[in-house]
Amino acid sequence: MKDRKNKKARGPLRVGLVAADPLRVLGLQTIFPSGGPVEIVPLSVPGALDASGVSLILVDSACTEHIFELLASFRRTRPRFRLIVLGLEEDHDHIERIIGAGAKGYLAQTSKESEIRMAIEIVQDGSVWAPRKVLARLLESTRAEAAAAAKPAKEPRFTERELQVLRLLVAGHPNRMIAEELGIDVATVKKHVGKLMRKVGVENRIALSVHVVGQQLILK
């Protein structure tokens, strides 16, 4: 109940949209109508870099011929922004490059409404949204880097509740779904995830999932 009140007090999640096609803007505003939990805020390419009140931005790759340069600008000057690229390209190598360039998600322009909603929720929670094969390759790469840099350390011990959160996190569930599954509020889930990251010694949810799976910590 308390979490719902806080959420209401904070207002809707303002999501910036950089798109040249007015139909793209209209389509997303139809999916997320005014007064709902998500508000779509149309932005121009230059204006996006100075966007205030938004932390997540959808970028239609059709609005620029230089998507990688645009991502680099965001990464260099506005690293706090979480970016999801909308595109026609389905080649996994291209999508992996998009994620590697700083985007936190990639959606095909033909994505269903449910996929768009889930992508925004997953990315807002701090994870990455991309095709499964791309995520698998990114996780494998991250796992290899982590293994190379790993230092001998004692295995962390988890409470039963932390293990429950970990299993759902590794399965790709956003905070809201973890909260519903365990019968707790979202704020409590965030506290558990933060504590888990400190125990494992990582800085984000993706690295936490990779470490847990790689070391088979939830199987022990």
Position 49 scores a pLDDT of: 64
In the chain, DSSP assigns E strands to 13-18, 38-43, 56-60, 82-87, 105-108
Q: Spell out the domain ranges in the chain.
A: 11-137, 152-219
Please determine, for residue 152, whether its predicted confidence score (pLDDT) is greater than 90. no
Domain 152-219 has CATH 3.40.50.720: no
SS3 for 136?
helix
**Fold observed for domain 11-137:** Rossmann fold (3.40.50)
Residues 115-126 pLDDT 10s: 999 999 999 998
What are 12's two structure tokens? 């809707």
Position 61 scores a pLDDT of: 92
Provide the whole-model pTM. 0.72
